Amino acid sequence: MILRYKTILAGMMLMSMTSVCHVRTVEARIDSLLNLGRDTTRSHRDRVLSYKDAIRLGQSGDAMYELANLYLTE
């Protein structure tokens, strides 16, 4: 009986750790896409695509702001 509870607890801990790691990897991907969008050596089209990918992944609005700023400045 105790072994069953330990197994359940271990499974719950593993699931919570996996979700935290997933959030961190998504945030890292969004940061990378935003940095690619800020890179002025890339073409305008490629920068726009990077921002659009970041918009699809994140809900904070940072990528939308950056995209709007890119459209206004170029």
Which ranges in 39-74 belong to alpha helices (H)? Answer: 44-57, 62-73
Look-up of token digits 């206004």: 72
Res 68 pLDDT > 90? yes
Tell me which residue range forms the domain holding 62: 2-73
Distance CA 17, CA 71 (A): 39
Q: What is the pLDDT of residues 4-63, one digit of tens each?
A: 555 665 666 555 555 555 567 888 899 999 999 999 999 999 999 999 999 999 887 889
Overall domain count for the chain: 1
